[in-house]
Amino acid sequence: MLLGVTLLTIVPILASFALSFTEWNFLLGFKQVKFVGLDNFERLFADEAFWKSLKNNIIFILVVPITLAASLALAILIDRYVYFKDLFKVIYFMPYISSVVAVAIVWQVLFHPSYGPVNNFLRSIGIADPPKWIADLHFALPSVMMIMVWVSIGYNLIIYMAGLQSIPKDYYEAAEIDGAKSWHKFRFITLPMLSPTTFFLMITGIIGTFKVFDLIQVLTKGGPAGSTSVVVFHLYETAFVNLKMSYASTMALFLFVAIFAVTLVQWWGQRKWVNY
């Protein structure tokens, strides 16, 4: 296992770090590697397309709190008020384990500007000029974010339901004896007891938003006009379409540092609100 991690993870990370200080087209072989120092980093900070992708990534982080709130609400409803809990777990989990290509194609049909069911419904209720969704410069990124929320709810729901079932019932019984209402039990028992679960889902969710690629590649290919391009997609195009491997490695190094910094901030902040 250690050998596999070393060859498939650690070595590529170190190679990417080294390549970020060079100029290299991988089609020319290793003999053509040329050391250029910090030139790639200077170029990165002046690259408008990269900063636009990073801005889209930062906006994409909004997917995480929306998904957490929706998943927690559904988890509480299913855990307390719904029969056949396992059936609903499977229903909500299906999008998460489904093929990304299949999901993207289904949503392409749903969001079709002229013939899609979404716009046909909007026209039927009196909206004469509905948005063009993934074909619209202003609605493309929110559309992808909505799909990402829909895909991610199932995973978060399963984790939250496991967290809810691990909370001792004695806490709720004691609160009822003291006259606590539903909101007080949620505020002072459920939320604090679920804070480790929320912290875990928040960290993995934010890292996931920085790594999103497949959905954008199939659904929009970064368009229209780069409105849905994120850092990983821009990195992929730079490395494997434009064959600028060294410059792409510089982006990867920047992304690593950014994710590491965000995670450190979360680890520091969790001491103030996570209850173990």
Q: How confident is the model at residue 79 (pLDDT cuts 50, 70, 90)?
A: confident
Q: What is the percent of the chain with per-residue pLDDT over 90, rounded to a whole number?
A: 59
Three-state secondary structure call for residue 157: helix
The 10s digit of each residue's pLDDT in 178-209 is: 888 889 999 999 999 999 999 999 999 999 99
Q: How confident is the model at residue 103 (pLDDT cuts 50, 70, 90)?
A: very high
Domains of the chain listed by start with CATH number:
2-272 (1.10.3720.10)
Structure tokens at 256: 């690593």
pTM of the predicted structure, to 2 decimals? 0.89
For residue 144, give the nearest of 80, 76, 233, 81 by alpha carbon: 233
Q: How confident is the model at residue 26 (pLDDT cuts 50, 70, 90)?
A: confident
**Region 160-170 average pLDDT:** 91
Name the average pLDDT for the chain.
90
Spell out the long-range contacts of 176-181 with Cβ–Cβ below 8 A and sequence spacing 24 or more: none
Q: How confident is the model at residue 235 (pLDDT cuts 50, 70, 90)?
A: very high
8 A C-beta contact, residue 135 and residue 66: no
8 A C-beta contact, residue 222 and residue 216: yes
pLDDT of residue 32: 79
The 10s digit of each residue's pLDDT in 114-146 is: 888 999 999 999 888 899 999 888 999 999 999
- CB atoms closer than 10 angstroms to residue 101: 13
CA 40 → CA 32, 47, 219, 260, distances in Å? 16, 10, 30, 21
pLDDT of residue 81: 83
**Region 33-62 average pLDDT:** 92
DSSP secondary structure letters along 86-153: HHHHHHHHHHHHS-HHHHHHHHHHHT-TTT-HHHHHHHHTT-SS---GGGSTTTHHHHHHHHHHHHHH
For residue 72, give the nearest of 177, 172, 194, 167 by alpha carbon: 194
8 A C-beta contact, residue 100 and residue 215: yes
Q: How confident is the model at residue 273 (pLDDT cuts 50, 70, 90)?
A: confident
**Region 59-63 average pLDDT:** 95
CA 185 → CA 158, 178, 276, distances in Å? 21, 11, 18
pLDDT of residue 190: 92
Q: What gap in Å lies between CA 226 and CA 209, rounded to an integer? A: 17
Q: What angle (nearest 5°) sits at the alpha carbon of residue 101, between those of residues 98 and 102? A: 55
pLDDT of residue 272: 86
Q: What is the percent of the chain with per-residue pLDDT over 70, rounded to a whole number?
A: 100
Higher per-residue pLDDT: 150 or 128? 150
Residue 158 pLDDT > 90, yes or no? yes
Q: What gap in Å lies between CA 187 and CA 40, rounded to an integer? A: 49
8 A C-beta contact, residue 142 and residue 133: no
